[in-house]
Amino acid sequence: MLGYIARRVLLMIPTILGIMLISFVLVQFAPGGPVERIIAQLQGQDSTATSRISGGGGDFSGGSQSPGGGGDTSSSSRYRGAQGLDPQFIRQLEAQFGFDKPAHERFLKMLWDYARFDFGKSYFRDISVLELIKEKLPVSISLGLWMTLLSYAISIPLGIRKAVRDGSSFDIWTSAIVIVGYAIPGFLFAILLIVLFAGGSFWQIFPLRGLTSENWALMPWYMQIADYFWHLVLPITAMALGAFATSTLLTKNSFLDEIRKQYVLTARMKGLSERQVLYGHVFRNAMLIVIAGFPGAFISAFFAGSLLIETIFSLDGLGLLSFESIVNRDYPVVFANLYIFSLLGLVVNLLSDLTYTWIDPRIDFETREA
C-alpha cells in the first residue's frame, strides 16, 4: 500500500505541471490583461478595479499580454488604448506586474513560488492571495460541508428504502421527484426559494444576504448559532437538490446490486430477518461506493457548486472570488485558486481510493496494478 501511495503522489507532480502549463499558455493568448485594465482605468473606461501600481517590482509571474499588432515594437503598441501614453510609463507597468520577463521565465518563477506556497499579492487588492483565500474560506466551507451532510442524510435512507421496495408505488413517485430535482438547476431553484420565502412575492421568512445578521456579534452564543443556520437554510437547500438526487440513485442501485447476490440468499436461508440481512450483511458492501465518494462530493460542492449560489445569496466565498478574479484579470488569484483546487482534487482522489481499502480490506490496488 505504501508503494501505491508513493506512486500516486509522484504522479501528482506531472499532473499539476500539465494543468498549470496549459492554463498559463491559454492566458498568454487571452485578450486583455492587468496592464490594459490599468490603461482603461486611467482613461476613464474602467472604474471597477483599484490597482497596486506603486511599490516596486511585480510579485507574480503568470500574467498575460495582448497579442501584438502592427509594425510598431514599442511597449504602448501592444496594448489597446495605450496610444498617447508615455512608453516609459507602460514599461514601468509591465515591470510592476512582472511582464518585462520572457514567458518561460515567468512560468518557471511561478512554479518555484507555488512549490513553496508563495502566491504573491492580488493585483487589484492590497492583500496577499493567501490572506484573501483565508478570508473567503469560511463561507465556502459552510456551504460545502452542510450541503454534503444534508444530501447524504436524506439520500442514504431514501435510497435504501427505494431499493427494498423496488418497483412499488413508493419507488415510482419518489423516483419522479428525484428526477425532477436533478433536472432543475440549483440556481433556478434558489431564485424560486427567494421568491417564495425571502420576501420576493410571498413570505418573508428567511434572510436573503450573508451568513449572519448585522447585529450577530451582539447576540448571545445560542442566538448566534441559530442565526447562522437560519441564513444557511435557503442556499443549502438550493445546493443540495442536485446532489441529493445523485446520491439517492447511487445508493439505491448499489443496494440493489448487493441484494441480488448469492450471499444474501444464503443469509436468508439461515433464518436471518430482513433487517439483519440488510444492515448486517448488505449495508457495508453496498455503502462502499457511497461512503468512499464522500471526500470527492465535499470537494465538488466546496469549490465547484457554489458560484451561482454565492452570487444569488450575496455570499462572499471562494466561488465568487474566482469568478471576479477571472473577470478582473487578477491573475495571482486565478492561478493560486487553480493550483490549490487542482492539488486538493488530486489528494481527495487518493483519499477516496484509500477509503475503499479501509471500508473493504479485500480491495488491494497494488495487486490489481500488478
Let me know if residue 189 belongs to a domain.
yes
Are residues 269 and 312 located together in one domain of the fold?
yes
Domain boundary among 124, 152, 168: 124
pLDDT-derived band at 42, boundaries 50, 70, 90 = low
Are residues 64 and 212 located together in one domain of the fold?
no
Residue pair 110/335 in contact (Cβ under 8 Å)? The answer is yes
CA distance 248 to 253: 9
Domain boundary among 94, 124, 154: 124
Are residues 42 and 186 located together in one domain of the fold?
no
pLDDT-derived band at 67, boundaries 50, 70, 90 = very low
Count of structural domains, the chain: 2
Looking at the predicted structure, is the pLDDT value of residue 105 above 80? Answer: yes
Are residues 109 and 185 located together in one domain of the fold?
no
Domain span including residue 88: 32-124
Which phi and psi angles does 189 have, rounded to 5°?
Answer: -65, -35
DSSP 66: P
Looking at the predicted structure, is the pLDDT value of residue 71 above 50? Answer: no
Q: What is the DSSP string of 317-364?
A: SHHHHHHHHHHTT-HHHHHHHHHHHHHHHHHHHHHHHHHHHHH-TT--
Which phi and psi angles does 326 have, rounded to 5°?
Answer: -65, -45
Are residues 151 and 252 located together in one domain of the fold?
yes
Are residues 198 and 288 located together in one domain of the fold?
yes
Give tens-digit pLDDT for 218-247: 888 889 898 888 888 888 888 877 677 878
Collapse the DSSP code of 204 into the 3-class scheme (helix H, G, I; strand E, B; otherwise coil) and give the result. strand
pLDDT at 18: 92
Are residues 73 and 158 located together in one domain of the fold?
no
Give tens-digit pLDDT for 161-214: 898 888 889 989 988 888 887 788 777 888 888 888 887 677 888 887 778 888
